[in-house]
Structure 1
């Protein structure tokens, strides 16, 4: 097979040199009833902006004029640009060459996968709720959102195809992709199609969502008789490129041109090498500061330290911990027993707590009284050393030994059944709220739990810039054993196992935004806790039955909450507002001063 294909590839390259972009076309499968002439100066509104088909423009000046008509908060794309250098020469200050690669899938030779998706299915966008869910995913990925009315009004479009991936257990939309049919969009004589806006919920745990969406769209266009499917991918997105090449896509010399605007700014201002070493929690703040013209000096990239300077004011930060947080407030948060006492005096509800010692009888009494307990080090962060749902003395003793690696003093708490709620408080106001859920793996009938955990860790690491993974340690083994399995057991298809009881992001947990759903009593309790600690930026953790109800118990306070975990909520914006209020627009400062500080 390889001997037969090689000459054809050489011939294809020869044709490219002779014919330019038109030589890229795959063998035409176009039905006779769709044959027709190409529409001149064609574009299609995709909701987030227009896709402008460069090959339909005879005059590059007209193409430039069309690009320059981009609307506010939109991202138009000039695609299939055969001579980008010529187009750019007409407006070098306003346009830029997008740093992305184009890949093409030949639908005449594409073969569908025999493997069936597990835990989700792909279907067309079918409701306004679907549209809102797609926008939520777009926001989480930093993409331009679309008016839900546009989605809904174009659900039956012949040129646009919207697919979504739906979780079979929860009904949640966990992925989306958009397809454009070339003949139906602009009378494409090459009989092509293209893929846009592939996005997967960063909190989704099922494997293969992106691949399945790409395959379903390819099969959709293949059934329509299209010859190929193109897509554009950022040049440095190694994981996406690896997926596309695995599916049979090949790179082709097709270019995209975009307008210089705030949305695209990071693609044409050059790489910020000085900030490349910062983790996502520091980088989100630095990017917001740079956007406002605030000077940034990285003092220790590996540790997340940087200094921000604006006018005569200079503040040293470590991620969301700044000089505005006092050493006293930080020391209160550092010791979980002290934190509990301080917030309890302020009227915040706290769980019963004792210090673990060598008194086994006291341990037995505490476990017997509460049935299920939490073991955690008095000092520590990122969920290290914490064990939740301990229901035997033997497991408690093992968990205490693990916790003592993090801190000499270990605490035992009564376990409150419910969900883990993180409230991000900045300047004693609620800015973001999220339910944090522990990592779960779902069986496929032939993969061991250990392998499923390793796959989940790779997906979580990819979604969080390497910040999240599931440790294969004693606590994970205990949770798997509590579910009736060993790590090397094969999990039956469709069955889920919670492999950690803690919902911390760094140990594989997922984060789900509920900012607009938090009960006022929960906000009042969080304000009371931050006031009691006297800390201007803090992550307050509650266990709640649901964020819609007032029942809760306080768990802990984090003096350095990860602001990047709560996009699209404006956590970085409010943090920089706190540090440099004069960097805010006057209208925003005036509106903020009129609002009461407490809810």
Structure 2
């Protein structure tokens, strides 16, 4: 009897809810015709494909079952979002094993009262996405920010879609795309009677040199929708993204009680599943591999988060790793890479081009003769990593002696090499195949006519640290001061507006350098030399560093080999995927291909 009464109450509740929803829709339709002058009523069961997934507008669905059914149609490797869910608790009860409440806040900007900012962007400008090259650049930024990528042809095929607006920020000097944002016009998407709009996929290149890119993109999109007559612009931001929330509140956004629902899939796993113990303490290099392993169903045990150690297990196989260094790298290979002089001898015997090198000693005449022979030299510790105590382009005995003293604080044995003019190229070789190639450039600042060079360095260093999880900062030390002296500058000088100066010669990421992908254009001879070096060392995962005239030029000089290359530095190249393929060849998509007989 009690069960019957419960069933009756539940049926009555559902009936009343359906009636209320129909009344709500009729009100929307009435507003659509009369309140805002639209000829079409609100479109039922509306969604819009954004390339990375669909935005599903929950207010256009008759009931929860229909909405859940729409979420079940999510395409592989996509992230659909049901937005403006009015009763999320009820919806979750209908499919608790399949969907979850997104832990994000919704913020709204009232465009009727919004006022444009007076600050003009410096060094970059905002424009529409106009080419497939723009689309590839946007995907590169998405990858660097851990976002779902979009087929480049999707951007291009939707360039005339009036419901979607793609804006990009372009560096005035280099022409590179350094930021992006996507806007959705709700009126054009589903005849929204409230005349709303929303902002999605705000992303700034972590290596961008200029401040204010994100803020400018948000402002430009808001101005665009205001000019179209939109009443508001909404956005969704994770509850713990305090830096972004502070920006939005500064611009006048206010939080509203709107909720989103997503499917439980591998992309969203960190949002709904219990996090790995100590996961947050991992650095970006370890986290990238851990995320890829978990996505494939490979078991992960974090053994020492601070050191970047974890164990991966699948199918009875277990491999202990420290970031990209695994048990598959032998102790011999690691010791070859550890000593730069040994590395040089090994690869030279394999036929690679190496610079002339000497060990720093007490014989000043020998040092002077070496300098006279080469004009400019590099000083570096024989053992060391992350660019510590490396000085590049030294041209006087005094500079060399100072650099030797600094290098000896890292390693007793110091090497002096001939300096090869050109660019620093890193090639990542996994399983003796090239996976990624990137030019590494030294840190440089751009003057604004107001700030000292010290202040510009500190500002850039904060941005680089925020973008790399604290991995990239610019030291203000003797090497920085020496580099400035080459331009007759000091740390306390105010740099004139627009002037661009290099503040360190070394291009290492950890000392503030930036990385620019050149995998698609790197010369085959450079690839061949890198693979030959990896085979000579007999190492399965390695970063080979060359000095080159350019990535498309075959000339090079070998610099060193890194047994633990930072794979997170090379997005959008599939470095983590190839690393896990090496350890577990039949994991993930490869297992599916093997089962289908395609491998």
Common fold: TM-score over 0.5: yes
Alignment-derived partner of residue 317 in structure 1 = 321
Counterpart position of 1:149: 153
Q: Give the match for residue 261 of structure 1.
A: 265
Q: C-alpha displacement at 1:589, in angstroms?
A: 6.6
What pairs up with 1:406-425 in 2 under 5 angstroms?
A: 406-425=410-429
- Match among 196, 201, 208 for residue 205 of structure 2: 201
Q: Is the 8 A contact 1:31 1:225 kept in 2?
A: no
Aligned equivalent of 1:177: 181
Partner of 1:91: 95
**8 Å contact kept, 1:45–1:51:** yes
**Structure 2 SS opposite 1:307:** strand
CA distance in 2, matches of 1:258, 1:296: 25
1:192-239 deviation line (CA, Å, top 9, x unaligned): 211011111222221111111011111111222322211001112222
Any residues of structure 2 matched to 1:580-599 within 5 Å, and which?
A: 580-583=584-587, 585-586=590-591
In the alignment of these two chains, the number of paired residues is 567
How far residue 58 of structure 1 moved from its aligned partner, in angstroms, is 3.4
Mapped contact 1:388–1:415 kept (Cα < 8 A): yes
Q: In the aligned structure 2, how far is the partner of 1:343 from the partner of 1:391?
A: 27
Structure 1 residues 473 and 532, CA, compared in 2 at 3 Å: closer, same or farther? same
Task: Give distance in 2, aligned partners of 1:246 and 1:195.
Answer: 16
- Answer with 351-360 or 585-594: which moved more: 585-594
Contact residue 434 and residue 513 of structure 1 kept, 8 A: yes
Report the CA distance between 1:154 and its aligned residue.
2.7
Deviation by residue 1:402-431 (Cα, 9 ceiling, x = unmatched): 111111111111111111111111222212
Q: Which moved more, 1:526-535 or 1:133-142?
A: 133-142
Match of 1:464 in 2: 468
1:44 counterpart SS class: strand
CA deviation after TM superposition for structure 1 residue 591, in Å = 12
Identify the residue that residue 53 of structure 1 maps to in structure 2.
57
CA distances 1:245-285 after superposition (whole Å, capped 9, x unpaired)? 22121111111111222322222223223422221222222
The residue aligned with 2:9 is none
Residues 374-389 of structure 1 mapped to structure 2, 5 A cutoff: 374-389=378-393
| Residue 134 of structure 2, aligned match among 122, 130, 134 | 130
- Whether the 8 Å CA contact 2:452–2:495 is kept in 1: the answer is yes
Deviations 1:414-461 (A, max 9, x none): 111111111111222212211111111111111111111111111111
CA shift, 1:471, in A, is: 0.7
Paired residue secondary structure (1:256): strand
Q: Specify the SS of the correspondent of 2:427.
A: strand
Distance 2:598 2:382 in 1: 38
Question: Could you tell me how far apart the structure 2 residues matched to 1:71 and 1:332 are?
Answer: 47
Q: Which deviates further from its counterpart, 471-480 or 125-134?
A: 125-134
Q: Deviation string for 1:356-380 (max 9, x for gaps)?
A: 2222333232223222211111110
Query: For residue 400 of structure 2, what is the aligned residue in structure 1?
Result: 396
Moved more, 576-585 or 164-173: 576-585
Output the CA distance in 1 between the equivalents of 2:596 and 2:551.
Answer: 28
Question: What is the rounded CA distance, in whole Å, between the counterparts of 1:529 and 1:132 in structure 2?
Answer: 31
Counterparts in 2 of 1:580 and 1:54: CA distance versus 1, 3 Å: closer
- Secondary structure in 1 matching 2:354: coil
Q: Which residue of 1 aligns with 2:369?
A: 365
Instruction: Provide, for residues 539-560 of structure 1, a one-character-per-residue CA deviation record: whole Å limited to 9, x for no partner.
Output: 1101111122211000001111
Stretches of structure 2 that go unaligned for 5 or more consecutive residues are 1-23, 25-31
Instruction: Quote the Cα distance in structure 2 between the aligned partners of 1:152 and 1:309.
Output: 41
Q: Aligned-pair distance for 1:243?
A: 1.4
Q: What does the per-residue CA deviation read over 1:22-78, in whole Å, with 9 as the maximum and x for residues that have no partner? A: xxxxxx9x9955586433322222222221212222322222222222223322211
Of residues 294, 303, 321, the one that matches 2:298 is 294
After superposition, the CA RMSD in angstroms is: 2.4
* Residue 229 of structure 2 corresponds to residue 230 of structure 1: no
* Counterpart-to-counterpart distance in 2, 1:31 and 1:562: 56
Q: Secondary structure at the match of 1:112?
A: coil
Instruction: Check 1:411–1:485 CA distance in 2 against 1; reply closer, same or farther (3 A cut).
Output: same
Per-residue deviation at 1:324? 2.0
- Any conservation in 1 of the 2:266–2:295 contact (CA below 8 Å)? no
Check whether the contact 2:423–2:550 (CA below 8 A) recurs between aligned residues.
Answer: yes
Aligned 8 A contact 2:337 2:562 in 1: yes
Residues 509-558 of structure 1 show CA distances to partners (whole Å, capped at 9, x for unaligned) of: 11112222222211221122122212222111011111222110000011
TM-score where L is the length of structure 2: 0.90
Of 75, 91, 94 in structure 2, the residue corresponding to residue 71 of structure 1 is 75
Give 1:273's aligned residue.
277
User: Of residues 462, 478, 483 in structure 1, which corresponds to 2:487?
Assistant: 483
Give me the whole-angstrom Cα distance separating, in 1, the residues matched to 2:571 and 2:594: 22
CA 590–253 in structure 1, closer or farther in 2 if over 3 Å, else same: closer
> Aligned in 2, Cα 1:224/1:593: closer, same or farther, shift over 3 Å?
closer
Provide the rounded CA distance (Å) in 2 between the counterparts of 1:415 and 1:209.
36
Q: Could you say if the C-alpha distance between residues 294 and 32 of structure 1 is closer, same or farther in structure 2, counting changes exceeding 3 Å?
A: closer
Cα distance in 1 for partners of 2:553, 2:52 equals: 36
